[in-house]
A = this chain, B = another copy of it.
Amino acid sequence: MAESKPRVAIIMGSDSDLPTMTAAAKILDEFGIEHTMRISSAHRTPKMTAALAEGLEDAGVKVAIVGAGLAAHLPGVIASLTTIPVIGVPMSGGGLQGLDALYSIVQMPGGVPVAAMSIGKHGAKNAAILAAQILALSDPAIRDQLQEFRERQTQGVEEKDRALTAGEL
């Protein structure tokens, strides 16, 4: 995990979110995008969260990926203190199995957007891909990698289809 000059910050509210958010880090590693991972809670460390959010842009971070569960205020709180794009990932689990986190992340009122992803690991992975898509707008190398990623992804499905047709699945 590259730590110097991170362009993406992955922030989560609790270390229990780490297994999910690691899926985002893996994709960024695959793309060679420098990133940092932080734990900061909207409710238990509000000042650290505010300082972190306010410092993102000066630290050169271009996109923040923020995971949170239950009431899941963290992505919105960070988005309120920076103007870089904030991508929110709802954690699954808890009595409402992530629906609470999803609503809390996606239903932001007009004025301060958060880009909501799907619940859990799918969402964490997609957050990293979306971050790459955003960075690719001004970084042709990432754009090329995205094209290759998409092609590999397409080939993966094609290979599964071939295997199924061949009776190998």
A residues with CB within 8 A of B: 1, 13-15, 18, 23, 36-46, 48, 50, 62, 69-73, 76-77, 79-81, 83-85, 87, 90, 92, 94-100, 102-113, 115-122, 125-127, 129-130, 133-138, 143, 146-147, 150, 153-154, 156-158, 160-161, 163-165, 167, 169
In the complex, the answer to whether B44 meets A108 with C-beta atoms within 8 Å is no
Given contacts A43-B79, A96-B107, could you give 5 more A-B pairs where the C-beta distance is less than 8 Å?
A37-B164, A44-B153, A71-B105, A95-B107, A96-B97
Instruction: Among B39, B107, B126, point to the contact of A112 (Cβ < 8 A).
Output: B126
A100 to B119, CA, bound (A): 11
In the complex, the answer to whether A111 meets B44 with C-beta atoms within 8 Å is yes
A82 to B154, CA, bound (A): 13
Which of A95, A119, A153 has the most chain B CB atoms inside 10 A of its CB?
A95
